[in-house]
Amino acid sequence: MSDPATKETAPKSPEQTIHYRGGGFAPQPRRWVGLVVFIVLILIAEWGTRSGWISSLTLPRPSDVLKTFQELHQSGQLYNHLTPSLTRLAVGSFLGATAGIGVGILIGLFSYIRAGLVPLVAAIFPIPKIALLPLFVIWFGIDEGSKYALIAFGTFTPTVVATYGAVDNVDRSLIRMGQSFGLSWLSIVRKIILPGAMPGILSGLRISLAIAIILLVAAEMLGAEYGIGAYVLQAGSLYDLERLFVGVLMLSVLGIVVSTLIGLIERRLLVWRN
Amino acid sequence: MDIRLDRISHSYDGIEVLNDITLDVPQGHIVCIVGPSGCGKSTLLRFIGGLEKPTSGRVVQVGDPPKDSLNPLTYIFQDFALLPWRSVEGNISLVLEDHGIRGNDARSIIDDVLTRTKLTDFAKALPKQLSGGMKQRVAIARALAVRPAVMLMDEPLSALDSQTRELLMDDLVSLWTRAPFTAVYVTHNLAEAVRLGHSIVVLSRRPGKIREIVHLETPLPDRQYGDAELEQKQKHLWSLMREEARAADTELLHV
């Protein structure tokens, strides 16, 4: 090692600040940015249709879409379409999600049920459920029954897959802890496996409910007098772009509402997560 | 209540992990089990509590556990095994609920064990808010709540940093001094073994056999950090284990 005396006389080495090269790869919440993107796109569309470089056949004017929506609201027609759609969505997805969570938990818990049902679920999953609508019409009638069944069936499979995956992922050491304290089988399922699987079940539900909305519209397009799907279909066949976009707008809002609701449930139920 | 291991041998997929282990755990004593990694010491602990079955031999309970013991054989795990969705008191009440203890009875047990582990102020906290040392103290409180006859401690301090480990060792010693408990304490850390063990069982590498049982006479509260006699014992243990540990380290894993 050099002593201080030689250090002073030695030629000074060049100094350089070390460049920062860490950071990034960690998404941060940036509120309002999403809203700004929406507003900018709508403003561009409005400006383009007004100044004429977007023809009215290409895209309806956003303000006209809004006006059509207001008319729909004032005439009361809005609720004639919205109420049946929301009912179908609620009933169908409730049936499908409940059955899906139940079956998923059974698959997660019992080897025989897993061996028997996992291949079946894998076989059902890729079937486009809308192709089965004629069959459902025969089984459950042309009325609401077939629509409930279609939505329920479509929500069921993704929920099952997400649920048994979530049960499989519950920390085994917690289950072993439960056994070591002499907890009953039912207590272990109720107090350890179910809450432990909840994050996976909820994120599966997010996907299932989006699928439910798609199926809702498809079912209403094929056979319904009222409903968002029927409304969109009518507008499309008349080439009424304003009304078509009103329908599309309702679907987007529905999607946002559903995803926000699940977000709220997650925040309430999963405070314990990091 | 004593525990006796009676000629226990065990193999996984034809590979022998434990060979002819016979051992007595007398009431009121802490028996430490040390050995190189993979010698089957944690497996042995799982046999004692009935979480796994040995290929041959048996674990015997000699005498009856105290009448008020809810869960005679109670584990403390290396990874704490706390339910992250339950608060500190919720985690303790979990193990009481199945015994039908709720309301005021549960309240008084929870308050008592939280006081003994100095956790009273953290009753409502969630595990994610606690440091590793605090989490293990919650796990100790949970174990105390069921009034175990024998505590089965599986490397309870191995996930903690060395300062926290010292503090928790002091806590364990003072818990034992106030109310002596029986424990089987598995560790790979020789310093912990000589601080807490009344006897230390040294296992050889796979297949694990008892190489030697070292007895320590110094009473637990008199064992201080850096004590010369303890250092001596620790050196002796290390001399027993050194070659085994080296050999175990270079072995291929058959997993």
Q: pLDDT digits over B114-128, tens only?
A: 999 999 999 999 999
Which of A172, A176, A180 is most worth mutating to test chain B (most B CB atoms within 10 A of its CB)?
A180
- Averaged pLDDT, B137-164: 92
Half-sphere exposure of A262 (CA within 13 A, CB side): 18
Question: Would you call the peptide bond into B207 cis, given omega within 30 degrees of 0 as the criterion?
Answer: yes
Do the bridges between strand B15-25 and strand B2-12 make them parallel or antiparallel, or are there none, so unpaired?
Answer: antiparallel
Q: pLDDT digits over B165-184, tens only?
A: 989 999 999 999 998 999 99
Cα B201 from chain centre: 13
pLDDT of residue A108: 95
In the stretch 155-184 of chain A, residues with CB closer than 8 A to chain B read: 173-174, 176-177, 179-184
pLDDT of residue B249: 78
Q: How far apart are CA B199 and CA B24, in angstroms?
A: 10
Given a contact cutoff of 8 angstroms between Cβ atoms, the answer to whether B81 and A177 are in contact is: yes
Helices A133-140, A194-222: crossing angle, 10 deg rounding: 90
Please say whether the dihedral angle defined by the alpha carbons of residues A248, A252, A257 and A259, taken in this order, is positive or negative: positive
Please say whether the dihedral angle defined by the alpha carbons of residues A109, A115, A117 and A119, taken in this order, is positive or negative: positive
Which of A173, A181, A191, A194 is most worth mutating to test chain B (most B CB atoms within 10 A of its CB)?
A181
Tokens 């909840």 sit at which residue?
A: A198
Cα A124 from chain centre: 20
Q: Does B65 touch chain A (CB under 8 A)?
A: no
Residues in B touching A181 (Cβ below 8 Å): 71, 74, 94-95, 98, 142, 146
pLDDT of residue B240: 85
pLDDT of residue A12: 83
Half-sphere exposure of B88 (CA within 13 A, CB side): 24
For residue B19, what are the contacts with CB-CB under 8 A and spacing of at least 6? B9, B207, B208, B209
Instruction: Give the residue from B243, B248, B251, B240 showing the smallest Cα distance to B201.
Output: B240
pLDDT band at B254 (very low <50, low <70, confident <90, very high): low
pLDDT of residue A3: 54
Residues in A touching B84 (Cβ below 8 Å): 272-273
pTM: 0.84
Given a contact cutoff of 8 angstroms between Cβ atoms, the answer to whether A65 and A245 are in contact is: yes
Q: How far apart are CA A47 and CA B164, in angstroms?
A: 66
Q: Does B204 touch chain A (CB under 8 A)?
A: no
Tokens 């051992």 sit at which residue?
A: B23
pLDDT band at B217 (very low <50, low <70, confident <90, very high): confident
pLDDT of residue A23: 85
Residues in B touching A267 (Cβ below 8 Å): none
- The ipTM is 0.88
**How far, in Å, are A72, A105, A175, A188, B12 from residue A193 at the CA level?**
48, 9, 8, 6, 28
CB–CB of B74 and A181 under 8 A? yes
Q: Is the pLDDT of residue B74 over 60?
A: yes
Secondary structure class of B71 (helix, strand, coil)? coil
CA of B83 to nearest chain A CA: how many angstroms apart? 7
**Residue of chain B whose alpha carbon sits nearest to that of A185:** B98
Task: Write the Ramachandran bin of B80: left for phi over 0, alpha for psi from -120 to 50, otherwise beta.
Answer: left
Q: Does B79 touch chain A (CB under 8 A)?
A: yes
pLDDT of residue A7: 54
pLDDT of residue A161: 95
Q: Does B83 touch chain A (CB under 8 A)?
A: yes
Q: Does A186 touch chain B (CB under 8 A)?
A: no
Tokens 């940015």 sit at which residue?
A: A33
Per-residue pLDDT in tens (0 to 9) along chain A, 274 residues: 445 555 556 778 899 999 999 888 888 888 889 889 989 999 999 999 999 898 888 889 999 999 999 999 999 888 999 999 999 999 999 999 999 999 999 999 999 999 999 999 999 999 998 888 889 999 998 888 999 999 999 999 999 999 999 999 999 999 999 999 999 999 999 999 999 999 999 999 999 999 999 999 988 888 788 999 999 999 999 989 999 999 999 999 999 999 899 999 999 988 888 7
Q: How many CB atoms lie within 10 A of CB B247?
A: 13
**Residue of chain B whose alpha carbon sits nearest to that of A172:** B81
Residues in A touching B71 (Cβ below 8 Å): 180-182
Q: How many helices (H) and strands (E) does chain A have?
A: 12, 0
Instruction: Give the residue from B137, B136, B97, B130 showing the smallest Cα distance to B113.
Output: B137
pLDDT of residue B146: 93
Q: How many CB atoms lie within 10 A of CB A80?
A: 15
